[in-house]
Structure 1
Amino acid sequence: MDEIDAIEHEVSIMGKRHAAGIEALKLVQKNRGWISDDSLYAIAELLQMTVSQLEGIATFYNLIYRQPVGRYVIHVCDSISCYLTGYQAVSEAIKAQLGIGYGQTTEDGMFTLLTNACLGSCDKAPAMMIGEDHFEHLTPQSARDILQQLQQERGKKPETTQK
């Protein structure tokens, strides 16, 4: 099923074209990795929405990416629960391991690091999400171990860039 067919399927479920906006964005992002301006315009036209309406949806949801991201997008929760249970130390360990700051992507395109206001793991804080996987009760060492495992799967330590 191509993207247009998949979006039309979502429209048939939602009943109204504009109601399928977030699902359309998620479908295109799943195939392409992020939502380019061209993709945004095409989706808006298909759903008979204005580009501004769809952009509003895209920028509201922090899991829709409007610029290229790495193979692994890391969302580190910075809610008050995570902050009080070790967020800062975990955050510093992740940044040091990857050699990048928030909003940056490693030079090899493997990791993008972002914050997230809440991952719904307040009772298991600190937490992070990589792709669809949640990691909870993090320590600086457990966060480094998770990243090292992903790096080893790729076979090399990522080169970094400061943007």
Structure 2
Amino acid sequence: MIMRLAATLMLATLTGAASPAFAHAGHHTAARQTIAITNAWARETAPAQVNGGGFLTFTNKGKVADRLVSASSPVAPTVQLHTMSMDGGVMRMRELPDGIPVPAQSVVELKPGGMHIMFIGLKAPLKPGQSVALTLRFEKAGLVKVAMPVHAIADIGQNMGGGHDHH
């Protein structure tokens, strides 16, 4: 009986009748290829600073809209998707709990003064020369890993403008 069960499971695996997760692996791979990530970087933080910011650009080359739903990183226990706006001369940041839409065949830029990644409760300061590991979770593309080089505050104004690729 055990041999018959083992043979049935092996046959199911070979014919593709395995778990739903296996069946979706191809979908995530194809969708992930439609999202290109460029200009990824994180801002240097002061020694006592407990929060930090990360920035990048998404290009959805596909014909289907997607959504960045969450992010995680080993540098902080909490990573949120945020937006920043000015309200009567006061800077206000708020979490985007519904994520960030990435329309089909479009570019979405996360940049200072707008949408960004927020690292909350940093375990250590972010220093120039380091790289922050970031895992992005897209609704359709699934998990995408990104390395974000940390840039010195003094270099940000000179090097981070103009839409150039900073890799």
Bigger helix fraction: 1
Instruction: State the structure with bigger RCO (CA 8 A, min sep 6), 1 or 2.
Output: 2
Larger Rg: 2
TM score, norm. by length of structure 1: 0.29
TM score, norm. by length of structure 2: 0.29
Bigger strand fraction: 2
